[in-house]
Amino acid sequence: MHSSTTRLVAVWITLLMASTVSCQSRGAGSMTESKRIISTETLREMTKADSDNAIPRSSSRAANTAIVKELKDDFRSLQQINNALLAYVWGTNKVDFQKLSAMIAV
């Protein structure tokens, strides 16, 4: 799950950066359209990339419980990385992208 966690965080940063760039466009209509296109393309890429990583179905309750626990742990990890990234970006005037990469690689 580590590579999918990294991939999701990278997609989140890409969306954040794309949103910032689109906010500098001429009008609200073009900004909304840009966000829609970015969201659609990102969803398409994530669906394609994760199509091979489907959650296996199991008839065992213990196996299902283990899968749910792993998903919760992964989501908690994503939240912690997201909080750390936001705290760093909002707390500085100059963003060091190498430091951001190192934070994501955790």
Quick: pLDDT tens for 17-52: 666 544 554 555 677 888 778 888 887 887 777 666
pLDDT of residue 52: 63
Count how many domains the chain has.
1
Structural domain of 32 = 2-104
Nearest by Cα to 88 from 77, 75, 104, 105: 104
3-state secondary structure of 55: coil
pLDDT of residue 55: 63
- For 59-63, the CB contacts below 8 A with 24+ separation are none
Determine contact, residues 104/10, Cβ cutoff 8 Å: yes
Q: Which of 6-10, 59-63, 65-69, 87-91 has the lowest mean pLDDT?
A: 6-10
pTM over cut 0.85: no
SS3 content of the chain, % helix, strand, coil (to 5): 75, 0, 25
More confidently predicted of 54 and 73: 73
